[in-house]
Structure 1
Amino acid sequence: MTSTAQLSTFSPEPQRRFDGMRRSLPPRTPKLVIGLGITFAIALFGLIGPLLVTDPMAISNIGLSGPSGEHLLGTTQTGQDVLAQLAHATRGSLIVGVTVGFLAVALSGLVGILGAYLGGRWDESFSLFTNVALVIPGIPLMIVVASYVEQKGLLMIIVVLTLTSWAGGARVLRAQTLSMRNRDYVLAAKVAGEPTWRIILVEILPNLLPVLASQFVFAVIFAILGESSLSFLGLGVSGTFSWGSMLFYAQNAFSLRLGAWWWFIPPGLMIALLGAGLALINFAIDEVINPKLRLATAAKAARKATR
């Protein structure tokens, strides 16, 4: 009897945690399915594509030729295969986007969540740091830093993009944490003597996962667009392919004037498709974050279930 009573007493707690995590996941809507499909296809192309194509720097005597059986996306002015360049450019752009996304979310979480939970001077210092970063224009700062740095390595681009993309997310996380730190389950954890790091990681952070996921998506989009802008202006990483560098070389070779559409349309289309896929994923996540959208989605699902 005692064991049965103990099981009935303690078994609902894991179930409640599981239900809470399940509610924090975005609903499986057409927007989410299409967005994940587009993003997964582009990521798979960037991961496997470079292993299946030829050397993107190899020069041939078939310069500026259209798509054919030998070169599916044609060649550049110097006879380089556009498909090979696109595969390596996809990998390069995704590396920058995902890395900056993770670093920006980690920095915004550290400043926003930790400062809001600790309060006092910590919160004031972190808020001042965030406000200063918010008023600095991102794109002009990237252009100035990239133009004055001689060795434009991949690490430098990632650092510049990270430092210009975290502040807005930190403000949102701070506001969310301030509303959570005085809730009953957080106060109960404090009374129970739980350490600060465990309260943040176990009690607060799981409730912020939809917000963090949305910020990660925005940071990836911002990083890819920012890197493409720098590369298009000739301020990107030298010796590394990306979608922006492909557009830069195509523009310098007057591909638009020469009618070489196969050179500049594929990288531009990849940027547009990835942006659309990530935007659709963000719309699905927003249905979890936004109470009005969450209620509208639940009502729509209920109407479908009654039919």
Structure 2
Amino acid sequence: MKILLTGCGGQVGYELERSLQGLGEVVAVDRARMDLSNLDQVRAVIRDVRPQLIVNPAAYTAVDKAESEPALAFRINAEAPGVMAEEARRLGAVLVHYSTDYVFPGTEPGARAETDATGPVNVYGASKLAGERAIAASGAAHLILRTSWVYGMRGRNFLLTMLRLARERDELRVVADQHGAPTWSRTVADTTATILAQARAHGSSAGFDAGWWQECGGIYHLSSQGRTTWFGFTQAIVEQAGIDCRVVPIASAEYPTPARRPQYSVLSSRRLLERFGHVPDWQEALRLCMQ
């Protein structure tokens, strides 16, 4: 099976290139070969590779910058996935795409389920939701995995930023009234591979079984178990790293940003757990990542 993997230079894409190896021939492309802002290039690469599976972790993820670049954010996060889905349907291929907790307004406590009402409060979230809808409208076999607060040991993310700042400063002031579940990029990649291996087991040498995707495809939440705040996450990072730095909780109002953030970003992964198996607790995953 030929697998087209986008965004292989990103933190999730890097992990996916490793995790997907046992499933087939992985054709990994970065932004230089497939720039999602160039829709003609997206089509051309897919038609050249002719994959049976497209895995798309590539995205516009600059949440604050998206407020001033909405057209670019929507082109990359909504229009490009729509093109991928159209091409997947034309080829009889499957599309795996990643979305975000930011599709929800985050105004109420509790973990959000896949069926809960969406309502993004920023451009980034709106662009990701538009991508989900474009994929669903295409009629292609697909899997959309919403995740949250993704981090890893490469790229640009909250973990690496806090590690750097904690080594430079005696004190970190971190928001303590936004709630979510930090999710390791390797958890996302390995869980994706587990799901695809199950799907592959129901297929043939020619590809996936369409009936399996009709029954098991759609949207799933793939987020670490448990919950914390950015303050709690930072405390755990500093403790795991053994850095002598004081972490002070602050309110979101004390750290204004161009893009509004959801106050409650916890996702319920119950549907995924019941169908596909284990997702680790966020503290367990952080410990493994930092080891």
Output the TM-score relative to the length of structure 1.
0.24
Q: Which structure carries more strand by proportion?
A: 2
Q: Which structure carries more helix by proportion?
A: 1
**Which gives a bigger RCO, structure 1 or 2 (Cα 8 Å, sep 6+)?**
1
Output the TM-score relative to the length of structure 2.
0.25
Larger Rg: 1
